[in-house]
Structures are given as structure tokens and as C-alpha cells.
């Protein structure tokens, strides 16, 4: 069944068209906009509803042509069907020059409309409509509780948001121990449970009511601690499908309990990062989880983030990789004070610190960009405190 939307300010015409679509049975109407949608409003509308067919009123031809251009730009392959009360030959010729091949004039004819739907379906089978989606969906999975996964997921998202042109969503899917809202000192308007409840009806108006804008990212917070609350795989799939139309990167913090919905996230992810510390219990659990993911054909996207790495480790990185059978993607030094300071302020770990530079490096690697490292803070020397200017040496003064 073809997904469709109507964009028309003619409410009476819309009513006739909606009735015709319902009678056809081969076209599903997702949304009707009773006003012209300029620029970004049109892009959001198309991304949110992902139609294959756009029924567009040509009552205002100039606005209609602007909309047609926007559909071609933001939703390649989608078919525009012009609708109006009359069929003006001049308007039809103009529409043809802009790539519109179908026109329906009132009074609508069911047989004619059904034949048109069949033509569109055949055309879309050959050239599907494509919503522009980014594939940078990153899943962060703890090897064991206390590995620092939430800290890494949060700072990875903030580092990604510092890159040019990156719009980032951070989602907390640790339903029992989610900490991201607390760590960012956010007061979320809603939670993952609310998003799941409305997953089948998400649109560009509802989504901003579900996320918190904090520190340059959008946060979809974890829910209340309630063993009776549930989310299922289909709801998560719908949420991710919707979100991927709007964000360049999505970071998901998982609980590590390997729930069915967590597996759904990892099936969708570009990369699954198992966060592990260099300790035998954590390495043991990491290995078991890696083996499970390999059995689910996810092994090619799994790698390890080694947290709280030591300069002189008892177990070397090479030994860790041999034990786990997957590469160590990046190591993060232990910086208790830096993490504590960031938590106290509800901000990112200082990007100029050694740990902060690793988060910048992580963001650069997953996006295949050159690292945009923050300049480290230069410590003042004794000469700075004495007021000696650069280039002015004591030996010169003696001369």
C-alpha cells in the first residue's frame, strides 16, 4: 500500500480526496497539511511522514512549484500528484516541465484514480522514494555494570555535536539504571516510555515534546524505575526509523542485559561498542557478549572501547584483543577527577584533557573526519609569573 500525504489549503477538496483515497484501498493517507509548507517546514514534514506519494494542490501555482522542488530535493523518488478543482492546460504544461506526470481534477473518478495508483506503484517499485537517512547509529553496551558506558556514550555524543553540521540524538535505553538525564542535569519533558507509547504516531510536532535540548544535543531520557513498564522491539524500531530521518548521529546507551529491544538496536547500529575495563571479570563477560553477538551475525560491527586504561597494564591491549577476538577501537585513560568535575557541572569532560581528546578522536573516527582536537590549556611558566616577555631573555638583559 502506498504511503501518501496531502498538502492543500482547500479543506473541501481535501475532504473529497481523503474519501476517495479511503475507497481505493491501495493508498494509505498518513497526514494532511492544510497550509503551504516553506523550506525547513516542508523538509520536516517529509522526513517525519516519509510519503511515497504527495497529493499537492495547484490552487497557488507559485507555492506548488516551490513544494515540488522541495519534494525532489528532500525525498528523491517520491511522486507528486497535482490536484485541483479544474484542469487548466497552461498549469498542466508548467507542471509537466517540473516533472509532475499525474493530475487529478474534481469531480474525482474512482476508476481513473485506481489506475493512477497502479501506475505509481509500478514506478515506485522501480525507483523507490528515499528519505535521506544517516547510518551513524552507535550502540554502547557495557561488558559489566560499572564499566563507565554512560559516561562514554554521553561524551561521545557531545564530541560528535561539536563537529560541523552534526545534529545528534542521545537515547537512554537503560530502563532500570538510566543516568543520562541526571548526568546532564536535564529536566526531561518525557521519557523513552512516552516515545514508545506514541511510536506509531510520531511526527515533527510531537518529537520536540519528547526530547530535551541540552549541551547542543537532543536527549531522549530513560524512564522511571518501574518493573511493570515495558517497551517492545517494534516500538524501538519505529522510534529509530523516525529519528534517523532527522539526526546525523544517534548514540544509544544500553543496559547490558541483552533485552530483545537492545538486540533490535544493535541490529540497526553501524557499530556496537562494548565498553570494558582491563579487569578479568569484565573481560570474561565481554567475551560472552561478543560470542552471543557473533552468533546473531553481528560480529562484523562489534569492537571494544577499553575504559580506565592503564599506562602499565597487567593485561596488554594485544592480549585483550586476542582474548576477545575483536579489535580494541580506542582506549580511554582513567580520569576520576575530570569525570567527577563534568558530572558536577552537567557538562562534557574537558575536551582539552587527555580523556577529552580521546572522545574527540572517537567522534572523528566514526565520522571519518580529521580530529578537531581542542587546544590544551597552556600552563604558565615561572617566567610568565615574573612578567618576562616571550623573546626577551635574561642573557639579553645583561648585555
Render pLDDT for 113-139 as a digit per residue (tens, 0 to 9): 999 999 999 999 998 887 665 568 999
Which residues in 106-116 are b (16+ Cβ under 10 Å) and which e?
Answer: bebeeeebeeb
* Residue 385 included in any domain: no
pLDDT on residue 60: 94
Check whether residue 116 and residue 152 sit in a common domain.
no
Contact 331, 317 (CB under 8 A): yes
The most distant pair of C-alpha atoms in the chain lies apart, rounded to whole Å, by: 102
Check whether residue 104 and residue 149 sit in a common domain.
no
How far is Cα 92 from Cα 69, in angstroms, rounded to an integer? Answer: 16
Check whether residue 249 and residue 336 sit in a common domain.
yes
pLDDT on residue 289: 96
Residue where one domain finishes, among candidates 71, 101, 126: 126
Check whether residue 43 and residue 84 sit in a common domain.
yes
Rounded to the nearest 10 degrees, how much is the dihedral formed by the CA atoms of 241, 358, 352, 180? 40
Q: 18 vs 22, 46, 58, 148, CA distance in Å?
A: 6, 18, 17, 52
Q: Which three cell numbers, joined as nine digits, stand for 219?
A: 536527549
Helices 280-295, 317-324: inter-axial angle, 10-degree rounding: 40
Q: Which three cell numbers, joined as nine digits, stand for 8?
A: 492543500
Contacts of 139 (CB under 8 A, 6+ apart): 252, 254, 262, 265, 266, 269, 271, 272, 273
With H, G, I as helix, E, B as strand and everything else as coil, classify residue 210.
coil
Residue where one domain finishes, among candidates 75, 97, 126: 126
With H, G, I as helix, E, B as strand and everything else as coil, classify residue 132.
coil
How far is Cα 61 from Cα 366, in angstroms, rounded to an integer? Answer: 44
Check whether residue 234 and residue 143 sit in a common domain.
yes
Check whether residue 160 and residue 287 sit in a common domain.
yes
Check whether residue 234 and residue 191 sit in a common domain.
yes
Rounded to the nearest 10 degrees, how much is the dihedral formed by the CA atoms of 217, 222, 224, 225? -140
Going from the first residue of the chain to its last (399 residues), give the mean pLDDT of each consecutive group of 10, the final group possibly shorter: 94 95 91 89 83 95 95 91 93 94 93 94 89 77 95 97 94 90 91 92 90 95 74 89 89 94 90 94 95 91 93 86 93 95 94 96 88 48 42 40
* Residue 379 included in any domain: no
Check whether residue 316 and residue 198 sit in a common domain.
yes
pLDDT on residue 375: 47
* Residue 396 included in any domain: no
* Residue 346 included in any domain: yes
Residue where one domain finishes, among candidates 76, 92, 126: 126
pLDDT on residue 80: 96
Contact 56, 67 (CB under 8 A): yes
375 CB neighbour count, 10 Å cutoff = 7
Which residues in 193-229 are b (16+ Cβ under 10 Å) and which e?
Answer: bbbbebbeebebeebeebbbebbebbbbbbbeeeeee
Contact 254, 152 (CB under 8 A): no
Domain of 327: which CATH number? 3.40.50.300
Check whether residue 348 and residue 211 sit in a common domain.
yes
Check whether residue 120 and residue 141 sit in a common domain.
no
* Residue 377 included in any domain: no
How far is Cα 55 from Cα 250, in angstroms, rounded to an integer? Answer: 32
pLDDT on residue 394: 37
Check whether residue 190 and residue 267 sit in a common domain.
yes
Domain of 47: which CATH number? 3.40.50.2300
Residue 33, strand partner residues: 7
Residue 256, strand partner residues: none
Domain tally, the chain: 2
* Residue 66 included in any domain: yes
How far is Cα 238 from Cα 261, in angstroms, rounded to an integer? Answer: 11
Residue 223, strand partner residues: none
How far is Cα 386 from Cα 153, in angstroms, rounded to an integer? Answer: 43
* Residue 390 included in any domain: no
Q: Which domain holds residue 187?
A: 136-366
* Residue 391 included in any domain: no
Measured at the CA of 190, the angle between CA 189 and CA 194, to 5 degrees, comes to 155
Check whether residue 67 and residue 146 sit in a common domain.
no
E-strand stretches of 190-339: 212-214, 217-220, 249-254, 271-276, 302-309, 328-333
Amino acid at each position: 500500500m502506498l504511503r501518501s500525504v496531502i498538502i492543500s489549503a482547500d479543506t473541501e477538496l481535501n475532504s473529497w480526496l481523503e474519501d476517495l483515497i479511503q475507497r481505493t484501498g491501495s493508498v494509505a493517507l498518513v497526514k494532511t497539511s492544510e497550509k503551504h509548507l516553506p523550506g525547513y517546514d516542508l523538509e520536516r514534514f517529509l522526513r517525519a511522514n516519509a510519503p511515497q506519494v504527495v497529493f499537492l494542490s495547484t490552487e497557488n501555482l507559485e507555492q506548488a512549484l516551490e513544494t515540488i522542488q522541495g519534494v525532489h530535493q528532500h525525498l528523491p523518488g517520491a511522486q507528486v500528484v497535482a490536484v485541483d478543482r479544474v484542469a487548466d492546460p497552461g498549469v498542466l504544461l508548467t507542471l509537466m516541465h517540473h516533472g509532475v506526470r499525474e493530475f487529478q481534477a474534481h469531480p474525482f473518478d474512482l476508476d481513473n484514480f485506481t489506475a493512477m495508483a497502479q501506475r505509481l506503484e509500478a514506478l515506485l517499485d522501480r525507483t523507490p522514494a528515499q528519505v535521506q537517512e544517516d547510518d551513524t547509529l552507535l550502540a554502547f553496551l557495557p561488558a559489566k555494570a560499572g564499566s563507565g558506558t554512560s559516561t562514554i556514550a554521553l561524551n561521545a555524543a557531545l564530541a560528535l555535536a561539536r563537529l560541523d553540521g552534526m545534529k545528534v540524538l542521545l537515547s537512554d535505553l537503560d530502563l532500570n539504571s538510566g543516568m543520562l538525564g541526571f548526568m546532564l542535569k536535564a529536566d526531561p519533558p518525557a521519557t523513552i516510555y512516552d516515545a514508545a507509547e506514541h511510536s506509531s504516531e510520531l511526527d515533527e510536532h510531537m518529537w520536540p515534546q519528547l526530547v530535551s535540548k541540552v549541551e547542543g544535543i537532543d536527549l531522549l531520557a530513560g524512564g522511571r524505575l518501574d518493573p511493570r513498564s515495558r517497551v517492545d522491539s517494534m516500538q524501538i524500531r519505529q522510534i529509530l526509523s523516525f529519528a534517523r530521518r532527522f539526526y546525523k548521529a544517534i548514540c544509544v546507551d544500553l543496559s547490558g542485559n541483552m533485552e530483545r529491544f537492545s538486540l533490535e538496536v544493535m541490529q540497526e547500529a553501524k557499530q556496537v561498542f562494548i565498553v570494558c575495563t582491563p579487569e578479568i571479570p569484565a573481560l570474561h563477560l565481554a567475551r560472552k557478549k561478543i560470542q552471543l553477538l557473533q552468533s546473531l551475525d553481528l560480529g562484523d560491527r562489534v569492537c571494544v572501547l577499553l575504559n580506565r586504561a592503564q599506562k602499565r597494564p597487567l593485561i596488554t591491549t594485544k592480549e585483550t584483543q586476542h582474548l576477545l577476538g575483536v579489535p580494541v577501537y580506542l582506549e580511554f585513560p582513567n580520569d576520576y577527577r575530570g569525570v567527577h568535575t563534568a558530572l558536577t557541572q552537567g557538562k562534557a569532560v574537558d575536551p582539552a584533557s587527555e580523556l577529552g581528546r580521546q572522545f574527540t578522536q572517537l567522534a572523528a573516527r566514526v565520522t571519518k573526519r580529521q580530529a578537531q582536537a581542542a587546544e590544551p590549556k597552556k600552563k604558565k611558566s615561572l617566567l610568565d609569573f615574573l612578567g618576562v616577555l616571550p623573546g626577551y631573555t635574561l642573557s639579553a638583559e645583561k648585555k
